[in-house]
Amino acid sequence: MTYSPKKRILKIILFLGISFVIYSSASAQNGNPMEAPIYGSVQMALEKDKNATQLNFRDRHVFEVPDSIAQLKKLVFLNLMGNNLEMLNEEIFKLKKLEVLNLMLNSLKYIPKDIDNLKQLIRLNLSNNEIAEIPEEISKLKDLRFLHLSYNYITALPETINKCKSLEVLELDNNQLSYVPNSFFELKNLKSLDLGYNQFNEFNEGWAQLKNLEELNMEYNQLHQLPREIGTFQNLKSLILNDNKLKSLPEEVSNLEELELLIASNNQIEKMPKNLEKLQNLKTLILKGNPISASEKKRIESLLPNCNIYF
């Protein structure tokens, strides 16, 4: 069976989307019933097991969390996704054993400074809220590895973000960011960074310090060029740059020998780097919506015979 290019692209996007959900969100949303019972209400947990470790309060459309939740002192997993919370009561910040806190799809206006009480947090999901500012107190979360802040109104990151040294995954897409502080580049363990749908015009020199990045998403920004230092990201596997204002990619892109996916569609690119044949692990290259000549397309295809290319 054969597929048209459009259908094949849709399959790729669907595959990537499924992989992303599994990687980033599964444990944050569902908990693990194999480890311990997951209770659906505070009352039920208090009645059956005051040492309960997992509570799923998802999609209840509640406006507040019962104060009695503070009695569940052993909670490790708390899912409050999909409610109508506009603020968090202080009782939540007494749950000092929490490792996973999911607050996505609420109406939160700010992150309370008491967040620094939850020092054992590994994953914090605050996506799809109405948050404009991240408090400096988040820097006290030394064990935090996954931070999800997509779809908010964030305009800046705190200078102290570098103190979150365990961060591996940071999602900040669909905000109002145009820069990151220099301290940001001290996040040496960062592997996945999503800054898509923001207002970035350029990279500064500090980006070269993020040596362990495996996934970088900068789609739908205002980038005019990439720095030559992009070639130092030796672990990079996925680079998403579609819908910017790029006229070219630096020759150093060819040094990204681990790269498997490159999306640069809907830019102003006429020619690709000369030594594309060095990208031997590249499986998918999407360049749709660029003014690439027929001869250049033929050259690209000849240099990447084992890559799925979409013009």
147-193 confidence digits (pLDDT tens): 999 999 999 999 999 999 999 999 999 999 999 999 999 999 999 99
Distance CA 232, CA 267 (A): 23
| Amino acid, res. 177 | L
- β-strand partners of 217: 194, 240
3-state secondary structure of 230: helix
For the chain, which residues score pLDDT lower than 70? 1-30
pLDDT at 205: 79
pLDDT at 12: 45
Pair type for strands 38-39 and 261-263: unpaired
CA distances (Å), origin 245, targets 51, 168, 220, 225, 309: 54, 28, 9, 8, 21
Q: Which domains does the chain have, with CATH numbers?
A: 203-311 (3.80.10.10)
3-state secondary structure of 7: helix
DSSP calls for 71-122: G-TT--EEE--SS--SS--GGGGG-TT--EEE--SS------GGGGG-TT-S
């109002």: which residue's tokens? 176
95-114 confidence digits (pLDDT tens): 999 999 999 999 999 999 99
Which tokens in the block code for residue 13? 């996007």
| Torsion angle in degrees (nearest 10) through CA of 93, 30, 24, 267 | -110
């996704």: which residue's tokens? 81
Which tokens in the block code for residue 174? 């669909």
DSSP calls for the chain: ----HHHHHHHHHHHHHHHHHHHHHHHHHH--TTTS-EESSHHHHHHH-TT--EEE-TT---SS--GGGGG-TT--EEE--SS--SS--GGGGG-TT--EEE--SS------GGGGG-TT-SEEE--SS------GGGGG-TT--EEE--SS------GGGGG-TT--EEE--SS--S---GGGGG-TT--EEE--SS------GGGGG-TT--EEE--SS------GGGGG-TT--EEE--SS--S---GGGGG-TT--EEE--SS------TTGGG-TT--EEE-TTS---HHHHHHHHHH-TTSEEE-
- C-beta of residue 233 within 8 angstroms of C-beta of residue 216: yes
CB atoms within 10 A of CB 147: 22
Q: Which residues contact 159 (CB under 8 A, 6 or more apart)?
A: 136, 181, 183
Distance CA 195, CA 220 (A): 9
